[in-house]
Amino acid sequence: MFPMKKIILFVLVVSIFSCKNDDSNNQTDMLNINLVSGINLRETADQVPLRFGNPNIFVSNQLVVYPNLAYEVINIYSQNVITDVYFISGWPEKIHQNVDFNDILNSGLYAETTISGLSTLKFNGTDLFSTFNISNLEAGYYRVFIKTNNQFYWDNFYKTNSPTSNTQIENISTFWN
């Protein structure tokens, strides 16, 4: 009878600890490089963006990425010369909506080797303004990492497989609201 009590106690302890682990891992880490917690839609560089969710972006008034939604090309205007641009597939999740990402994101957060290793598309730039052909990317959410002055900045965008329509914008709005 005594060994049975030990087995029951062991099973009980294991069950308690495994439940706590499941509860703490049910959300993507807010610093995960693939996480898209929101996006800013805009057609032009000077347009005030339409915000959906809580974008986990780090642009620091250094650059503008447009259009967002993007179909065949994406434009990037930077305050400094763009040296490298990386596109990484994103995972949209409506989590961390109350986080102030301005307090936790910085240009040294992700290593260049990590960004480069995860990128599905890479370009080199040599100008303040560049247009990039993204027509070969599949439709979905992406994070674009821009290197300028040896620092990384990034934005989130949505790649479409057809010219932007009101239906696509409504679908994005429905997802984020």
Identify whether the C-beta of residue 87 lies closer than 8 Å to the C-beta of residue 36: no
- Please check whether residue 59 is in contact with residue 45, taking contact to mean a CB–CB distance below 8 angstroms: no
Q: Which two tokens stand for residue 22?
A: 């499941």
Residue 6 — pLDDT band, cuts 50, 70, 90?
low
Which tens digit of pLDDT belongs to each residue from 131-176?
A: 999 999 999 999 999 999 999 999 999 999 998 888 899 999 999 9
Q: What pLDDT is recorded for position 26?
A: 56
Q: How confident is the model at residue 2 (pLDDT cuts 50, 70, 90)?
A: low
* Tokens at 157, concatenated: 């965008």
Model confidence at 23, pLDDT cuts 50, 70, 90, reads: very low
* pLDDT at 25 (0 to 100): 47
99 neighbors 121 (Cβ within 8 angstroms): no
CA 153/CA 86 separation, integer angstroms? 11
What is the pLDDT, as a whole number, of residue 58?
Answer: 97
Q: Which of 17-31, 122-136, 146-160 has the lowest mean pLDDT?
A: 17-31
Write out the DSSP string of 127-172: EEEEEEE-TTSPSEEEEEEEEETTEEEEEEEEE-SSS--HHHHHHH
- Report the CATH number of the 35-176 domain: 2.60.40.3080
Q: Which has the higher per-residue pLDDT, 11 or 64?
A: 64
Q: Where are the domains of the chain?
A: 35-176
pLDDT greater than 80 at residue 19? no
Query: Rg of the chain's alpha carbons, rounded to an integer?
Result: 21
* pLDDT above 90: percentage of residues in the chain: 79
CA 77, CA 66: separation in Å to the nearest integer?
9
